[in-house]
């Protein structure tokens, strides 16, 4: 079993907690002294840095929300001078004003270190050739994984997203062994390879995929692995925390979050009380090493659960289990909560349909109507009976997963928009 920093990755959990306590105490003083935003927030809460003596006092600290970053746009929460910032990234701002994140050189180093540990934990080394097909630019995916890959000394192929035929050719010609992109883009990649007459399984050296930036299911993992002959690993992060940060290890049983860098809490969203291991709640993160834009108890907006038991790989850091989706991705149909990921997990079990789908919501009279548009892999007109059977089988499975009737509509192959980054899964035509 290979480690990047064995002394940290396998540290005794008690020592890790002690390290977190010390870092938290320092961090609270750091943000109080340097960020007018945090000073004001702490003063409003009647909190002084001296009140935080250990990690047990975390509950006394106020939360930070995405809205705070928007309100202080572009850099009102930064703790360093602009001249100490060596890079900016910015979120796309689909749900409001964009947010800008700044990094010092040390922030970039810590970010790359986090990914170097993750990449090593899935068996990548300096011998590998890693194709980074996440978007480069303001989005953190491309540059994040790029620097992680360079840190472990791997050969990095910065294809960014798009121009898929060229990506397939380069993958083959340069003996690429690993690819990083969204799971929806990789599904498209496989389809495009098929169309180009290239078998990823037989004609390339690809063995590992690092997929994240959007929710995906265990069933999609299985389907990807079977079709392409690779091992598919989950990776999580958000732009506010740096970008992609944590990957699964070879065990594929959750993503190791590095406790010397971040403090994760899972809270009941109504009571704000911590939830036990395994229970799904709201993810709240405190950055323990960030300099330019440290965040205290940042409400990420994701629903998640943790497993704090020691992993079979020997790493002692907690694992973030597969995410269900953001609380704001959740759609409410006839009063029932639905995550697009649940629909995906049903569809990918049917080899007759492609993993690309679109949920269309409409209002018919007083009632919400949910249609799932999906493409048949092979649409032959003499198989009408089979289609009806398949449609009703998928509808039954959707019903037992969602507790809701959703109509399945087969659409012409290639008509669901393919995504080069995060997939858009919902078209909501309801008028409220």
287 and 277 Cβ atoms separated by less than 8 Å: no
Among 215, 294, 318, 340, binds ligand DLL (CB under 6 A): 215
Among 209, 212, 281, 294, binds ligand DLL (CB under 6 A): 212
Among 118, 243, 318, 355, binds ligand DLL (CB under 6 A): 243
Among 133, 184, 238, 286, binds ligand DLL (CB under 6 A): 238
For ligand DLL, give the closer residue by CB, 11 or 293. Answer: 293
Between the alpha carbon of residue 127 and those of residues 4, 97, 154, 171, the distances in Å are 15, 42, 6, 15
Distance CA 218, CA 142 (A): 24
Q: Which two tokens stand for residue 354?
A: 């492609």
Stretch that binds ligand DLL, among 186-194, 212-220, 305-313, 396-404 (CB under 6 A): 212-220
Q: How many residues make contact with ligand DLL (CB under 6 A)?
A: 21
For ligand DLL, give the closer residue by CB, 220 or 323. Answer: 323
Q: Where do the H-state alpha helices sit in 45-104?
A: 66-71
- Rounded to a whole number of angstroms, the minimum distance from the CB of residue 307 to ligand DLL is 15
Distance CA 236, CA 296 (A): 19
340 and 374 Cβ atoms separated by less than 8 Å: no
Distance CA 181, CA 142 (A): 9
Among 97, 326, 349, 424, binds ligand DLL (CB under 6 A): 326
Between the alpha carbon of residue 341 and those of residues 113, 125, 178, 303, 326, the distances in Å are 30, 32, 25, 13, 10
Among 190, 220, 300, 416, binds ligand DLL (CB under 6 A): 300
- Rounded to a whole number of angstroms, the minimum distance from the CB of residue 92 to ligand DLL is 7
- Rounded to a whole number of angstroms, the minimum distance from the CB of residue 244 to ligand DLL is 4
Query: In this structure, are strands 178-181 and 208-212 parallel, antiparallel, or unpaired?
Result: parallel
Stretch that binds ligand DLL, among 62-70, 230-238, 265-273, 288-296 (CB under 6 A): 230-238
Residues 78-107 binding ligand DLL (CB under 6 A) are: 91
For ligand DLL, give the closer residue by CB, 97 or 172. Answer: 97
Distance CA 103, CA 53 (A): 27
Distance CA 152, CA 109 (A): 12
Among 102, 148, 237, 254, binds ligand DLL (CB under 6 A): 237
- Rounded to a whole number of angstroms, the minimum distance from the CB of residue 49 to ligand DLL is 29
Distance CA 30, CA 289 (A): 11
β partners of residue 373: 358, 409
Is 302 one of the binding residues for ligand DLL (CB under 6 A)?
Answer: yes
DSSP state of 248: B
x/- binding map, residues 112-151, to ligand DLL, per CB under 6 A?
A: ----------------------x-----xx----------
143 and 136 Cβ atoms separated by less than 8 Å: yes
- Rounded to a whole number of angstroms, the minimum distance from the CB of residue 180 to ligand DLL is 7
176 and 206 Cβ atoms separated by less than 8 Å: yes
Q: Given the rule CB under 6 A, which residues bind ligand DLL?
A: 91, 134, 140-141, 212-215, 234-239, 243-244, 300-302, 323, 326
């Amino acid at each position: 079993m290979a480690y990047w920093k064995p002394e940290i990755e396998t540290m005794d959990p008690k020592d890790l907690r002690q390290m977190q306590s010390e870092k938290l105490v320092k961090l609270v003083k750091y943000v109080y002294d340097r960020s007018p935003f945090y000073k004001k927030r702490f003063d409003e809460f009647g909190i002084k840095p001296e009140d935080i003596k250990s990690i047990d006092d975390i509950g006394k600290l106020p939360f930070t929300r995405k809205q705070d970053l928007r309100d202080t746009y572009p850099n009102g929460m930064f703790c360093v001078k602009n001249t100490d910032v060596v890079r900016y990234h910015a979120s796309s701002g689909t749900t409001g004003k964009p947010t800008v994140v700044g990094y010092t050189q040390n922030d970039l180093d810590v970010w790359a270190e986090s990914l170097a540990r993750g990449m090593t934990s899935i068996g990548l080394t300096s011998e590998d050739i890693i194709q980074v097909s996440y978007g480069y630019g303001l989005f953190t995916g491309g540059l994040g994984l790029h620097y992680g890959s360079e840190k472990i000394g791997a050969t990095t192929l910065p294809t960014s997203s798009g121009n898929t035929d060229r990506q397939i050719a380069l993958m083959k010609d340069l003996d690429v062994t690993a690819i990083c992109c969204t799971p929806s883009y990789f599904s498209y990649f496989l389809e495009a390879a098929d169309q180009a007459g290239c078998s990823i399984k037989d004609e390339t050296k690809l063995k590992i995929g690092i997929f994240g930036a959007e929710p995906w299911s265990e069933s999609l993992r299985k389907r990807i692995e079977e079709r392409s002959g690779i091992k598919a690993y989950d990776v999580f992060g958000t732009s506010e925390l740096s970008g992609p940060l944590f990957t699964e290890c070879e065990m594929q049983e959750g993503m190791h979050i590095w406790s010397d860098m971040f403090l994760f809490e899972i809270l009941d969203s109504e009571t704000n009380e911590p939830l036990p291991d395994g229970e799904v709640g709201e993810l709240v993160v405190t950055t323990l090493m960030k300099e330019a834009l440290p965040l205290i108890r940042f409400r990420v907006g994701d629903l998640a659960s943790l497993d704090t038991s020691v992993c079979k790989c020997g790493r002692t850091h907690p694992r973030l289990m597969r995410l269900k989706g953001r609380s704001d991705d959740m759609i409410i149909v006839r009063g029932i909560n639905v995550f697009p990921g649940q629909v995906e997990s049903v569809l990918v079990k049917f080899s007759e349909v492609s993993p690309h789908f679109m949920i269309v919501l409409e209002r018919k009279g007083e009632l919400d109507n949910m249609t799932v548009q999906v493409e048949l892999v092979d649409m032959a007109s003499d198989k009408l009976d089979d289609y009806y059977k398949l449609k009703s089988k998928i509808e039954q499975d959707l019903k037992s997963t969602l507790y809701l009737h959703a109509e399945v509509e087969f659409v012409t192959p290639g008509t669901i928009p393919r995504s080069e980054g995060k997939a858009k899964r919902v078209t909501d035509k309801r008028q409220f």
